[in-house]
């Protein structure tokens, strides 16, 4: 019985791992979408992952965004409150992901 080589990351390189705040899955940072709390209290998508501020991560899956937004997970993690408009923005963004 022969086994195919499993695809594993190069051991020398450290890949930063992040947790999706909705489903709790741990994935490499670049596979997740970062959201950042901006000054003034709103939440923005941070495609570069480099914005200053408290950040949270979600899978690029509409289901996770909906769960994160509906259950208030995102607000809890970012310690902020979303306005209706802000929530709509994020939902809209998530709809473009699928
Ligand atoms: Zn997720």
Q: What pLDDT, on a 0 to 100 scale, did the predictor assign at position 51?
A: 92
| Partners of residue 44 on adjacent β-strands | 36
Give me the pLDDT at residue 26, please.
Answer: 97
Average pLDDT, the chain: 90
Whole-prediction pTM value?
0.82
* Ligand 1 mean position, distance from CA 2 (Å): 34
- Region 3-23: mean pLDDT is 80
- Asked if the model's pLDDT at residue 48 lies above 70, the reply is yes
Q: How far is the CA of 65 from the centre of ligand 1 (A)?
A: 8
Structure tokens at 49: 């992952």
CA 59 – ligand 1 centroid, Å: 4
**What is the per-residue pLDDT across 81-92, written as a single tens digit (0 to 9) for each?**
999 999 999 999
Cα 19 versus chain centre, distance: 8
Provide the residues around ligand 1 (an ion) whose CB is within 5 A. 20, 22-23, 59, 64
C-alpha 34 to ligand 1 mean position (Å): 12
């Amino acid at each position: 019985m022969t086994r195919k080589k499993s695809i594993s990351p190069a051991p020398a390189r450290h890949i930063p791992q992040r947790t999706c705040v909705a489903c709790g899955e741990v994935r490499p940072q670049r596979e997740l979408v970062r959201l950042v709390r901006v000054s003034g209290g709103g939440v923005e998508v941070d495609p570069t992952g480099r914005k200053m501020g408290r950040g949270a991560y979600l899978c690029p899956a509409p289901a996770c965004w909906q769960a994160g937004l509906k259950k208030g997970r995102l607000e809890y993690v970012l310690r902020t409150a979303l306005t209706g408009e802000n929530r709509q923005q994020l939902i809209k963004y998530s709809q473009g992901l699928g």
